Amino acid sequence: MHLKEFSLVSPKIQSTEIFKAIEVAIPATSIEQAIAKTKVEEERHRSLPAQLVICLIIAMSLWSRDSMRDVLKNLIDGLSEAWVKVGKYWRIPCKSAITQSRQRLGAGVMTQLFHQLVRPMANSETIGSFLNGLRIVVIDGTCLDIPDSDENARVFGRPGSRPGTRAAFPKVRLVILVEAGTHLIFDALMCPYKIGERVRSLKLLRSVTSGMLLMWDRGLHSYAMVQATVSKGCDYLGRIPEER
């Protein structure tokens, strides 16, 4: 048997394709609505308006190895004028100006944009997405190390350690709601390390609906979890803790 000739396809996606995908997934009008709802409009013209800073934050997750200034330059060169609006004689600001702009923007507008746009996306042809007509979604939690600073330690806390010592890093607890077939996170909450996953998982039930099958591990199973899920019209499948 003779093998057919084949060629390797590079997994790298060209920047132009990424820019097109960003503009389709996140319309410029949605960014403007998020800014309006969180009231972060500029009182005066700045070299980094709120809309451009939002675009930068989104792009930084795609080009995480590049400097903020390089990512910003790529945005201006690659995205359409409808998505990124700057003046004719605009110049790339310094790093400190970019940092200050991100601090002025705050987290609220990004949260608003997330909740405006993010929805389950699987269809009937997406493998592993449905069971007997129900959309499979999963809730789970994890913990992440965050930069070692007094402010982070005060807000999020540190895990326990031996007497006379302290944990190397503060930790944040992350609880997420995921569509199984696409692995798309369509709701999430961050909280201090000492707040348990069960408490935050109950709040994430705001995003489940009828027609879904919600799955969770035994660490999240409780009467309150079952009652809240059923009240949303959502089916569930949860592991039960071992009896002792």
Give me the pLDDT at residue 240, please. Answer: 85
Are 202 and 224 spatial neighbours (Cβ–Cβ below 8 Å)? yes
Task: Give the contacts of 208 (CB within 8 A, at least 6 positions apart).
Answer: 137, 177, 214, 229, 232, 234
Could you list the beta-strand ranges (E) of the chain. Answer: 130-131, 134-145, 171-179, 184-192, 212-216, 235-238
The ranges of the chain annotated as CATH 3.30.420.10 are 130-238
User: What string of pLDDT tens digits covers the 244 residues of the chain?
Assistant: 444 454 545 556 677 777 788 888 888 899 999 999 988 765 555 678 888 888 889 888 888 888 889 888 888 777 766 666 666 667 888 889 999 998 989 889 999 999 999 999 999 899 999 999 999 999 999 999 999 999 999 999 998 888 888 888 999 999 999 999 999 999 999 999 999 888 899 999 999 999 999 999 988 999 999 999 999 999 999 988 776 5
Give me the pLDDT at residue 75, please. Answer: 81
Give me the pLDDT at residue 1, please. Answer: 43
Please, which contacts does 64-72 make with residues 24 or more away whose CB atoms are closer than 8 Å? Answer: 67/95, 68/95, 68/98, 68/99, 69/93, 69/94, 69/95, 69/98, 72/98
Q: For the structural domain made of 130-238, what CATH number should be given?
A: 3.30.420.10
Give me the pLDDT at residue 10, please. Answer: 53
Give me the pLDDT at residue 8, please. Answer: 47
The continuous run of DSSP H or E covering 165 comes out as none
